[in-house]
A and B are shown apart, each in its own frame.
Chain A
Amino acid sequence: MGRLVEHPILDVKSSTSKTHVVFYFEGQPICALPSDTIASALIANGIDIFGFTEHNHARGFFCAIGKCSSCLVEVDGIPNVRSCITPVRDGINVRRQEGRGKPKW
């Protein structure tokens, strides 16, 4: 698990880019590339459990294109965010979603 540092076909220079975005996952700082989604940044950092269902089953990445409900996380208190298609932004607070989201008002 982690970023590709070399590849026989693809250009992977971006993986070693010096420009970083820092956000928080469960309070811990996570270093991401500007091109990352929340999911790609988490997996690149070795995190693949994104939350737990109502029945306490772990869930994570699955379809990568926002079509399933597997990778839902809470971002700045807003639940049901599809981490696989949501770009990272500096300073956001991402948390594992447990069951259905909590309302914010």
Chain B
Amino acid sequence: MSEVKGAYNVCIIGGGITGTALAYSLCNLGETSVAVFEKSYLSSGSTGRCGGGIRQQWSTKNNVRLAMRSVELFEHFKEDVGTDIEYYQGGYLMLSYDEEEAKQFEKNVEIQREEGLDVEILTPKQVSERYPYINTEDLVLATFCQKDGHANPHKAVIGYAQAARRMGARIYTHTEVLGIDVQNGKVVGVDTNQGYFKCDAVVNASGPWSKQVSQLVGVDLPTESYRHQIFVTEPLENFFPMMAISFAGNFYMRQAQHGQFIMGQGDKDEKPGINYNVTFKFEKELTVKMVKLFPFLRNLRIMRHWSGMYNMSPDAQPIIGQSNIVNNYFYAVGYSGHGFMVAPAVTEALAELIVLGKTTHTDISYLNVDRFANAEVEKEKNVV
């Protein structure tokens, strides 16, 4: 074991949105003896590579609630955290090209409305009147929630990190966790390439590496990482306010504040494992599909193409909670591609759980890993 470099009440592994937002949330509750260990630079894992969408149109009551609380926190991000993260409530337009799926959408909207979310159901004609630049051929229906939107994920991480630093948290970048010291069923320290740090609690917020990090504690987590690719075009004037997304169509796209179009799709043939390469096949498939639906894209060029990891759970919903094997070990992993958008509410609740021993704003007990012990899990349907 290397030299002891410090001691913290809470050590967080991972400097993405979860790690930094959790450090911020802990400090907000008065717990400022917090360290974040990031093996590369801040947001280098999944957050800095993601699409940046923030939506509340989910298919289960719990997920809608969690998302609505997150939106509330995003709406006050600038005042609370002190950084402009390009948050913009331009809405989410969910496009359905499948009769079956359209019926499901209508059911989802009922659930969403019950939770107090203002969601519209649009006919293809209404869509093309509102958005003349969308080709509505084959469209069955669309749902739209104006309060959904998007933000710049990297700026959010930097914002949280800087605010946490101001309140006393330490953030160690380029510091890789090599081992977690568990004695008598309790975590007592974290060993890194920069030295050993004692701690009273450890949080796994390591995104793509969640499974490996959990193994350092000796706890199995049912997560697997899958590559997802994304590319961004040259900028145009802003005219496309919303995130457009389709599950059956398998795509999402938005225009960033700086004018570029960011888009991605899933690949069902992707094998699990960390892989940051990109393929030209992705560009071919996605451009053909998107140009048909959004003909104006034809005149744009691809600027950058990269990939990131979806840390998937068996039911495509996050795994958040406290371990009942090593009980000062916490985890916030397995976001399945939508960690950025729920992180404010998740970390608020997790910080409460760590400091107060219970959640007060949002119930996250349904996200505990124990749910997989039961035979039936309710899979979230609204994911690309």
Contact B239 A101 (CB under 8 A): no
Instruction: From known contacts A78-B299, A80-B301, infer whether A101 and B236 are also in contact, taking CB-CB under 8 Å.
Output: yes
Interface size range on A against B: 10 to 19
**In the assembly, what is the distance between CA of A104 and CA of B77, in Å?**
34
Contact B237 A103 (CB under 8 A): yes
Instruction: From known contacts A80-B301, A100-B259, infer whether A105 and B295 are also in contact, taking CB-CB under 8 Å.
Output: yes
Q: A51 near B: Cβ within 8 Å?
A: no
Contact A80 B133 (CB under 8 A): no
Q: B296 near A: Cβ within 8 Å?
A: yes
Which interface residue of B132, B299, B301 has the most chain A CB atoms within 10 A?
B299
- Residues in A with CB closer than 8 Å to B235 are 80, 100-101
Q: B234 near A: Cβ within 8 Å?
A: yes
**In the assembly, what is the distance between CA of A99 and CA of B259, in Å?**
10
Q: A60 near B: Cβ within 8 Å?
A: no
- Residues in B with CB closer than 8 Å to A101 are 234-237
Which chain B residue has the least Cβ–Cβ distance from A99?
A: B237
Contact A104 B299 (CB under 8 A): yes
Give how many A-B residue pairs fall within 8 Å (CB-CB).
Answer: 32
Question: Chain B 252-265, CB within 8 Å of chain A: the 1/0 string?
Answer: 00000001000000
**In the assembly, what is the distance between CA of A78 and CA of B299, in Å?**
7
Q: How many of B's residues come within 8 Å of A, CB to CB?
A: 14
Which chain B residue has the least Cβ–Cβ distance from A104?
A: B299
Which chain A residue has the least Cβ–Cβ distance from B255?
A: A103
Query: DSSP class of A's interface residues: helix, strand, loop or mixed?
Result: loop
Instruction: From known contacts A105-B132, A105-B133, infer whether A100 and B299 are also in contact, taking CB-CB under 8 Å.
Output: no
Q: Determine which of B133, B237, B301 lies in contact with A100 in the assembled complex, contact meaning CB atoms within 8 Å.
A: B237
Q: In A58-104, which residues have CB < 8 Å from any B CB? A: 78-80, 99-104
**In the assembly, what is the distance between CA of A78 and CA of B295, in Å?**
13
Q: Least Cβ distance of B14 to chain A in Å? A: 35
Q: Least Cβ distance of A100 to chain B in Å? A: 5
**In the assembly, what is the distance between CA of A99 and CA of B239, in Å?**
14
Contact B236 A103 (CB under 8 A): yes
Instruction: From known contacts A103-B133, A104-B296, infer whether A80 and B237 are also in contact, taking CB-CB under 8 Å.
Output: no
**In the assembly, what is the distance between CA of A78 and CA of B296, in Å?**
10
**In the assembly, what is the distance between CA of A80 and CA of B301, in Å?**
9
Question: Chain B 225-263, CB within 8 Å of chain A: the 1/0 string?
Answer: 000000000111101100000000000000000010000
Question: Chain B 115-143, CB within 8 Å of chain A: the 1/0 string?
Answer: 00000000000000000110000000000
Contact B296 A102 (CB under 8 A): no
- Residues in B with CB closer than 8 Å to A99 are 237
Interfacial residues, chain B to chain A (CB-CB below 8 A):
132-133, 234-237, 239-240, 259, 295-296, 299-301
Q: Which 10 A-B pairs have the closest CB atoms?
A: A105-B296, A105-B133, A100-B259, A100-B235, A78-B299, A80-B234, A103-B236, A103-B296, A101-B236, A100-B237
8 A–B contact pairs at CB < 8 A?
A78-B299, A80-B300, A102-B237, A103-B236, A103-B239, A103-B296, A105-B133, A105-B295
Known contacts A99-B237, A103-B296; can you find 19 more A-B pairs with CB under 8 A?
A: A78-B299, A79-B236, A79-B299, A80-B235, A80-B301, A100-B235, A100-B237, A100-B259, A101-B234, A101-B235, A101-B237, A102-B237, A103-B236, A103-B239, A103-B240, A104-B299, A105-B133, A105-B295, A105-B296
